[in-house]
Amino acid sequence: MRASRAAISRPYMCGNRNPNPGGFGVTWGGAVVIERTTMQIEQTAIPGVLILTPRRFGDDRGYFSETWNKAAFAEAGIDIDFVQDNHSRSELVGTLRGLHAQRPPHVQAKLVRCSRGAIFDVAVDTRRGSPTFGQWVGVELGAENGRQLLVPGGCLHGFVTRAPKTDVIYKCSDVYAPECEAGVRFDDPDIGIDWGLGGEDPVLSEKDASAGPLSEFDSGVDFTEQTP
C-alpha cells in the first residue's frame, strides 16, 4: 500500500491519515505523552516509535540533560539493552542516509539524536503483521531541540541533514553485522516519504542509491504488542 503523508502535530509527521497511537500516558495533540522528571516520552502513530525529549537543566554556564537512563525507562516499559554507540558526521546539507535495518539474528533497535546541526529523522514500520506496516514517521531532531527518536527493531531507519557539518549519535541494541544489514530505497513510492528536499537530489552513498524496493524487503521481525 502507499502511505499518504499527513501532518499530525509538531514535532513529527507521519504517513498515516488516521493515527491510532495507543500506548500509555495522556493525550496531547494527537500523540501520547508521558511527563517524567528528566524526560518527556511521546508515542507516535507507529507503535513503539517514540520521541524522547530530555529535560535540560540550565544556568549561566549552559545546560545539563540526561539522555538515557536504563532503569528509569524500564519502569516506563522501554527495556532495551544498548550495546553499541555510533557517531556519523555529514558535511553537506541534503545528505541522506537510509533506509537501513539489520535482520535476524542481529536486529537493532536504535535511539537516535543529533548533537550538532539538524536532521529530519524517519522510521518506517516493516514488522510482519504490524497494523502500521509500510507507514512512516518523520521527526526534526537537532542540537537546539534535543529530541531523540527511538526506532524499534524490525523498522527501517534513515535521515536527511538540514544543516552542514551535522553530527548524529545513536545507540544500538545489537552490534553491527554486515551479513545482516539490509536496505530499501529512500524514494520508494510504496512508502512515499516526504523528505522535504524541495526537488533537489540528495547526497547518497552508492549502496543507498542502489537499494531495492519495499516489495522485496523482509525485516524478519514479527510485530508484537510489547514494543519496542
Question: Is 12 annotated in the active site?
Answer: no
Q: Which residues are 206's β-sheet partners?
A: none
Q: What is the CATH number of the domain that holds 63?
A: 2.60.120.10
Instruction: Give residue 194's pLDDT.
Output: 97
Q: Which residues are 222's β-sheet partners?
A: 128
Asked, for residue 195, whether it belongs to a domain, the answer is no
64-100 pLDDT, tens digit each: 988 888 888 888 788 899 999 999 999 999 999 999 9
- Mean predicted confidence (pLDDT) in 181-207: 97
Q: Annotated catalytic residue: which of 12, 157, 170, 176?
A: 170
Asked, for residue 177, whether it belongs to a domain, the answer is yes
Between CA 34 and CA 166 the distance in angstroms is 29
36-47 pLDDT, tens digit each: 567 889 999 999
Between CA 84 and CA 104 the distance in angstroms is 17
Asked, for residue 45, whether it belongs to a domain, the answer is yes
- Mean predicted confidence (pLDDT) in 105-127: 97
Asked, for residue 225, whether it belongs to a domain, the answer is no
Structural domain of residue 118, as residue ranges?
24-188+200-216
Predicted structure pTM score? 0.83
Question: Is 87 annotated in the active site?
Answer: no
Q: Is the pLDDT of residue 187 over 80?
A: yes
- Other CB atoms within 10 Å distance of the CB of residue 69: 14
Asked, for residue 4, whether it belongs to a domain, the answer is no
Asked, for residue 103, whether it belongs to a domain, the answer is yes
Q: Annotated catalytic residue: which of 100, 106, 157, 176?
A: 100
Torsion of CA 118, 191, 107, 71, to 10 degrees: 50
Phi, then psi, of 99 in degrees rounded to 5: -95, 135
Asked, for residue 51, whether it belongs to a domain, the answer is yes
Question: Domain total for the chain?
Answer: 1
Asked, for residue 18, whether it belongs to a domain, the answer is no
DSSP annotation of 3: P
Q: Is the pLDDT of residue 58 over 70?
A: yes
Q: Is the pLDDT of residue 26 over 50?
A: no
| 4-8, 67-71, 80-84, 177-181: least confident range | 4-8
